[in-house]
Amino acid sequence: MHPPSHLMPSAWLTLPRATVRLVSRRLDVSGVNEDDQKVSRQIPLRDLDRLIVTSGITLTGPALAALMDEEIPVVHLNHSATRFLGTTLSPGSHHAPARLRQYELTLSPARSLPLAAQLIAAKIRNQRRLLQRLCNDRGHDSTTELARLNALHQRALHPGDAPELLGLEGAASATYLSAWARLLPSDFPFEKRSRRPPLNPVNAVLSFISVVLTNELTALLHAHGLDPALPVFHSPDSGRPSLALDLIEPFRPVIVEALTLDLFSRGMLQQQHFQPSEDGGIHLDPIGRQKLILQYEKRVQREFLSTQRQHRTSLRQQFDYAVTDFKSALAPPHDLSPFLIN
């Protein structure tokens, strides 16, 4: 269990067979850990922004009702926290006008393509900026990759159609990841992306962080009255939060790849933190997940001075801005201001 403090508004409950009850205006979490020791925590509702639970957790009716009353979303994951199952949240205020504009946007390639281009161009720009910074710090030569990413970024600003933009995004990711992989420790090699299932530790971490990040944006889209299934870049697919996948694109370099590199380069994750899974892949063990979650929370809550926004902010605040920015772009002039790395 990972109860929040004033520095951690997200509570992660991953202890199998734990029970969450309501005591006054606090969540009382009790269970038994891996050493058969009783564990108990209390989480004040006022300190909580979101609750993430794995499938072995039992939420009592009063606890769930209090969470909905406080408009605190509950994100449900499978037992290994590698797959999003759904979100429990209160209806909130009605957002019919925004939903109608969102449906119109999805049905109009002429309107959705410019928004998709802005998101992907920001992603490629951030890939280039992060790679440049990492290679400079480590003394690696990435001149060729940086030049190619710069050219792809310029083309992504004004694509001819959606298939061209998809091809540019794929080419940029291949270029970026090939250089990024050279920065990993030699005992954690990475050749290519594998997702379902991840076939090695690096892919396991990339996938886990992607799931966590997608869950955050999905909950925010619900909270702001938008439909997470209606994208501008990814293809709509039943049961997939495609719009959340769209909006996380500019954040991937600074969160997914940068955090993965930190976890391995600093020795926070070792081979013993990974285990084979029933689907033939490799996944983090409970201790590895705890380490990753702690570092993820530190990263997204850490404040920094954004030269783009001209004020101090955090990545988590920028997640919310990305959703409100998209909601505003549903109306004229239909323009986005995606997150950019300093």
CA distance 115 to 105: 10
Under DSSP, the state recorded for 341 is: -
Under DSSP, the state recorded for 236 is: P
Q: For residue 124, give the 3-state DSSP assignment.
A: helix
What is the amino acid identity at position 61?
G
Assigned fold of 96-329: Four Helix Bundle (Hemerythrin (Met), subunit A) (1.20.120)
Question: For the segment 92-136, what is each residue's pLDDT rounded down to a tens digit?
Answer: 655 788 889 999 998 988 999 999 999 999 999 999 999 999 998
pLDDT in tens, the chain (342 residues): 443 333 346 788 877 788 999 999 999 998 877 777 888 888 999 888 888 888 888 999 999 999 988 888 888 888 777 777 878 877 765 578 888 999 999 898 899 999 999 999 999 999 999 999 999 888 888 899 999 999 999 999 999 999 999 999 999 999 999 999 999 999 999 888 887 889 999 999 999 999 999 988 988 888 788 999 999 999 888 778 999 999 999 999 999 999 999 999 999 999 999 998 888 889 999 899 989 999 999 999 899 888 888 888 899 989 989 999 999 999 888 889 999 998
pLDDT of residue 92: 62
Model-wide pTM > 0.85? no
Question: For the segment 127-163, what is each residue's pLDDT rounded down to a tens digit?
Answer: 999 999 999 888 888 899 999 999 999 999 999 999 9
Q: Is 191 annotated as a binding residue?
A: no
Domain boundaries, the chain: 10-88, 96-329
Q: Is 249 annotated as a binding residue?
A: yes
**Strand (E) or helix (H) holding 207:** helix 201-223
CA distance 41 to 19: 11
Homologous superfamily of the 10-88 domain (CATH) = CRISPR-associated endonuclease Cas1, N-terminal domain (3.100.10.20)
Q: Which are the contacts of 21, defined by CB distance < 8 A and separation ≥ 6?
A: 27, 28, 30, 60, 62, 63
